Amino acid sequence: MSPARDGGGEAGVANATSALAPLSLAQARALHLHAQGLLARPRRRARKADALAAVARMQLLQIDTIHVVARSPYLVLFSRLGAYEPRWLEQLLAERAIFEVWAHEACFAPMDDYLLHRNALHQREHHWAIRSAQRHRGSRGGEIERLLAHIRELGPVKSSDFEREDKGSGGGWWGWKDEKRWLEAGFALGELMVARRDNFQRVYDLAERVAGAAVPGWNATAIEPAQVRRSTILKSVAALGIAQARWIADYYRTKPRLRDRDLDALVADGDLLRVAVKGWDAPGYVHPDHADALTRAAAGRLRATHSALLSPFDPVVWDRERASEFFGFDYTLECYTPEPKRRYGYFVLPILVRGRLVGRLDAKAHRAAGVFEVKALYLEDGIDGDEALAQDIAGAISECAHWHGTPKVKLGRCRPATFAKTLKAALAASA
């Protein structure tokens, strides 16, 4: 089954699903986690092709540089694949199987979707990164052209290749030096691409050399705006498994926000399935590629059995409204919040256990010492911290710790405090 199908309608499937009883919230969650690859543990050891398939399944893999545990894209893949080789991500980038692009934020995306993203650029002109790049292109176009000429003549560059003359000055994009701003402007506007990463530092090259080597007609193939809009809608719904209309546009950070009536034609053509979910004030939408999973979910045969620690930038939680609707989980990233105002901690990982977000933990990997520190762990209100839950959470923590090369788990405070003893015993048993 292809999670990114963009083909014609299947009215017969739509008619069949119209007879379904409303899904329970648990059934809708199971469908969402199925689409995201988080419903069950992988059945075999991961291969590099599985990493590419996971990116394609999500459509977008958000990039972030914070690495007190693992940088987000690596942790997102680990949650789905289990133990795998992080270098595969860089290899896929260098092999042109994936590429980097501004979508809802900076993301990896399958190279198969390059033309879609290139043509979607005009739909993202409201995005802060695109607006900043356009302003910079307008005011510093001459310098940017000279930088492009430099790359064309001498080859790919990193921002560290250019010395900064005004060290310590602020302003602009996080106080970046001029060349860094010019490189980022060219990247945001599609003139430059990331050819590879060296120690996670971007290496920029001309789009004509990166995409041009992988995508026929990379610069000449135009997609009509209506088709771009349709494709991003269908791909977003496929990635989410089931989605309310108001969540869809932001997955690719396009505008405007959709309403149910905007999707009527896609439903009528069978390109989307409209279903009811108990407790939701709006219908959900399902891609026909997930029709079989929808039927199994409605029959109670799509069971969530996987437990994992999630990145703060995981697609399951980065949309606060969506996480609240699916899981009753109110999540805010606090690493950019002043420490005295933080409620949970600097880099807090949501805890997924068998289809529920049961809590969150503030973690840090001390790689030199081989210690995975859980500074604090909080169960959600109403969650019963019994032995079975402790075993699931301990297993998720231990697997993540071993993958990091930090097998010794140090547990700090717990809420409720009574859960600490049960969890420590489970951690000792899973070590």
Tens of pLDDT, residues 113-146: 999 999 998 788 888 888 888 998 899 889 999 9
Tens of pLDDT, residues 345-391: 999 999 999 999 999 999 999 999 999 999 999 999 999 999 999 99
Residues in CB range of 414: below 8 A, 6 or more apart: 376, 377, 378, 379, 420, 423
Q: How far apart are CA 371 and CA 69, in angstroms?
A: 11
Helix, strand or coil for residue 46? Answer: coil
Single-letter amino acid, residue 315:
P
Mean pLDDT of the chain: 91
Tokens of 22: 């409303």
Tokens of 395: 């297993």
Residue 214's region, left for phi above 0, alpha for psi from -120 to 50, else beta, is alpha
Tens of pLDDT, residues 41-86: 999 999 999 999 999 999 999 999 898 999 999 999 999 999 999 9
Q: Is the pTM of this model over 0.85?
A: yes
Helix, strand or coil for residue 215? Answer: coil
For residue 215, pLDDT over 80 is answered with: yes
Beta bridge partners of 374: 363, 411
